[in-house]
Every structure is written in C-alpha cells, then in structure tokens.
Amino acid sequence: MKIYNAKDYNDMSRKAANIISAQVIIKPDCVLGLATGSTPEGTYKQLVEWYEKGDLDFSKVRAVNLDEYKGLSKDNNQSYAYFMRKNLFDKVNIDLNNTYIPNGLEEDSKKECERYNNVIRALGGVDLQLLGIGGNGHIGFNEPGQAFEKETHCVELTQSTIDANARFFEDKELVPRYAYSMGIKSIMQAKSILLVASGKSKAEALYKAIYGEIVPSVPASILQLHNNVTIVADEDALSIIKEKGLL
Ligand code: GLP
C-alpha cells in the first residue's frame, strides 16, 4: 500500500485528482469505479477544473459507481445518480451512456444485483476504483460483518451509517434503510484502488484498515490483500497512525 500524507482536504483532493487524471491520460477509455460521499467531492471539483482548462478528456471514459440507495430514483436529489451528475458527469464530456449505477427503483434485489454484476463484467472490470471510507470502516455500502466474497448485493444499512448520512436528508426518517452496493469481491477485482480519507472521524477506521487485523468487522481491512492500493489521506485522518509512529 502506498500512503500519501496530504496537508488538508484541498491537498488530498488535488493529489487524488492527479492520480485519476493520470489514469485517464494513460488509458483514455479506462473504466473508473466511482464513489460518492462528501470526501470525493473536492476530487471531482478538481477534475472538472482541469477538464475546463482543456487538460482532460472524458469522452471515452466508462464509469461504474459503487452503490445506490434502494428506493430512490435517479432524479431524487439524494440519490447517488443525482450526486454523480451534479458533481461530475454534467460538468465534463463523459457520455452518460457510458455511466453506470445500480437502479435504486428496481425492487427485485436479485435481478438488479445480477444485472449490475453483468454490467461490470461486460466492461471488462475496473481499472481504477475510487473509495471513501465510513467511520465504521465500511467501503461502498459494505457494512461491518458482511462476507468478503460478495459481489453486488442489497445491504441493510447499519444505524451508524444511517446516522452519518442523515446530514444530507431533511429528516432522518427519509434516509433509506437499504442500498445496492458492489461487494468486497467486486471491489477487490479492480486493477488498482485509490482510497481517500479526510478528518478525525475517519482516523480510527483508517488505522484499523491499514494496520489492523483483516476482519469482516472492518471491511476496508481487506484492502491489505490487494496489490495496488493507494491511500491519500489528510493529517486528521492519519492522526492515529502518526501518533503511533507508524508513518
Ligand atoms: C457512504 C458511501 C460510501 C462513503 C461513505 C463515507 O456510506 N456509500 O461510499 O465512502 O458514505 O462518506 P463521507 O465521505 O461523506 O464521509
């Protein structure tokens, strides 16, 4: 694992955007695995700026997102499909037909998960998978305790994730209880992984993910077994690792 220590959120965002840019430049028709949440927002903003300057071309890029809330339509402003359009897809020259995200309105979980696994396979796998990390160590919506061998599946969100994500909703009651998420197996099949983390609330999860035991109770710990993982984290997210003299 390569760990890059960013000064702050902006520095983290620029470093992460640089890594994604390099992927797009080296392989213009690459498959990017994309993530939502507040952590990658700055990364997307930076990519948009470089696109506007003429430094990046997304016309051949394919993008496949990690997850989506079950029950939300793509036009619901809390859906991850909406987030992706707002933060990236509507602002760069990516072809929307080359962007993929689970369909939150499909009630038949088995059908939707199979469809999404087939989408990922048909794309030939993910070249670079961007990940955030939940305060409880989750990646995508793979909550603690879930089997590592899963591909796309329907997840019952934990209370801590519902509480953490409630800040985006008008009312906590509106936070969906279920989500479709690529599984750990799908994530681990990406050729390379870029995890971004910012803030003290991620420090413990990040420490356990990188230096702890590889256990399903810390989903991100499985990343220790992947041979091409880059972590870009700011001072606060790295604070426990630094206190322990590990970096
Ligand atoms: C959600 C998303 C994750 C994300 C996590 C952390 O649960 N499904 O992909 O990593 O939130 O979000 P944030 O970056 O806002 O802390």
Domain boundaries, the chain: 2-243
Bridge pairing between strands 128-131 and 178-181:
unpaired
Q: Which residues are catalytic?
A: 67, 136, 138, 143
Supply the CATH classification number for the domain 2-243.
3.40.50.1360
Q: What is the pLDDT of residues 153-174, one digit of tens each?
A: 999 999 988 998 899 898 999 9
Q: Whose CA is nearest to atom 12 of ligand 1?
A: 37
Whether the predicted pLDDT of 41 surpasses 90: yes
Residue 149: which pLDDT band, with cuts at 50, 70 and 90? Answer: confident
Q: Whose CA is nearest to atom 13 of ligand 1?
A: 37
**What pLDDT is recorded for position 68?**
97
Ligand 1 pocket, 33 CB below 6 A? Answer: no
Bridge pairing between strands 62-65 and 99-100:
parallel
**What pLDDT is recorded for position 30?**
98
Ligand 1 pocket, 36 CB below 6 A? Answer: yes
Separation in Å, CA 218 to CA 95, 155, 245:
36, 16, 22
Q: Whose CA is nearest to atom 3 of ligand 1?
A: 140
How far, in Å, is the centroid of ligand 1 from the Cα of 131? 8
How far, in Å, is the centroid of ligand 1 from the Cα of 242? 23
